[in-house]
Amino acid sequence: MKKIVILISGRGSNMEAIVRAQIPGAAIAAVIANRPDAGGLEFAASHRIPTFVVDHKAYPSRDAFDAALADAIDAHAPDLVVLAGFMRVLTDAFVVRYSGRLLNIHPSLLPSFPGLATHRKALEAGVRVHGATVHFVTPALDCGPIVIQAAVPVLPGDDEARLAARVLAQEHRIYPQAVRWFVDGRLGFADGGAVTVRGEQDGPAGWTVPPVEA
Ligand code: GAR
């Protein structure tokens, strides 16, 4: 059984999607939030998943917070740490500690639109295609090796909320998929660092274009 710790900051809908996926061979060992009011804590607790808060406001520095967070994570000896809407920038020391077993989801087709306000940036840029990316975390923000992406159209009349909702629906598809691949031991790295998915010869792995809604 592969043990997974999920980190959240708020609503936790991606965490919820991963929990609901009931991935064979995976056990959600804990959900940890950096905010006591993170909405997702309630869902996790109601599914009998141990929940913890490591409140970043209680620590004098990023280093001190990340050290406390790492202690909370390591108490569960996880095989995989999943950032699911975890909105703190992590120190290099933290990221390196979990190298190769730290995943993040980002609401854009990286490398386009790293950072915050991705849907607004996509609308301002006038792109016709937007989406979401699951990637391994490396010290450079939003730059790690890409595991899977989903693309959605930007439609006439879209505002940030509509576009965010369309992207979020795809996040809920691709994050459980990426975790499933990790748990099954199917993710590897090609020369040059790109992620490979073993055993996906029959179709394209690592990307998905959903049907356009009416
Ligand atoms: C998601 O859209 C996720 O991609 C984004 O925050 C939202 C969290 O929603 N993450 C980032 O922007 C990371 N930089 P959730 O709490 O409902 O999963």
Q: Which of 56, 106, 135, 172 is catalytic?
A: 106
**Does the Cβ of 171 fall within 6 Å of ligand 1?**
yes
Instruction: Kindly report, residue by residue over 158-182, the tens digit of the pLDDT.
Output: 999 999 999 999 999 999 999 999 9
Helix (H) or strand (E) holding 133: strand 129-136
Give the pairing of strands 207-208 and 146-153.
parallel
Residue 212 lies in a domain: no
Which stretches of the chain score pLDDT less than 70? 200-206, 208-214
Residue 214 lies in a domain: no
CATH number of the domain at 31, please.
3.40.50.170
Residue 206 lies in a domain: no
> Hey, whose CA ends up nearest to atom 16 of ligand 1?
12
Residue 107 lies in a domain: yes
Query: Contacts from 51-56 at CB under 8 Å and sequence distance 24+?
Result: 56/88
Q: What domain range includes position 166?
A: 2-197
Mutate to test the pocket of ligand 1, among 162, 168, 170, 172 (most ligand atoms within 8 A of CB): 168
Residue 27 lies in a domain: yes
Active site residue 172: no
Residue 165 lies in a domain: yes
Instruction: Kindly report, residue by residue over 52-70, the tens digit of the pLDDT.
Output: 999 999 999 999 999 999 9
Model-level pTM? 0.95
Tally of structural domains, the chain:
1
Residue 157 lies in a domain: yes
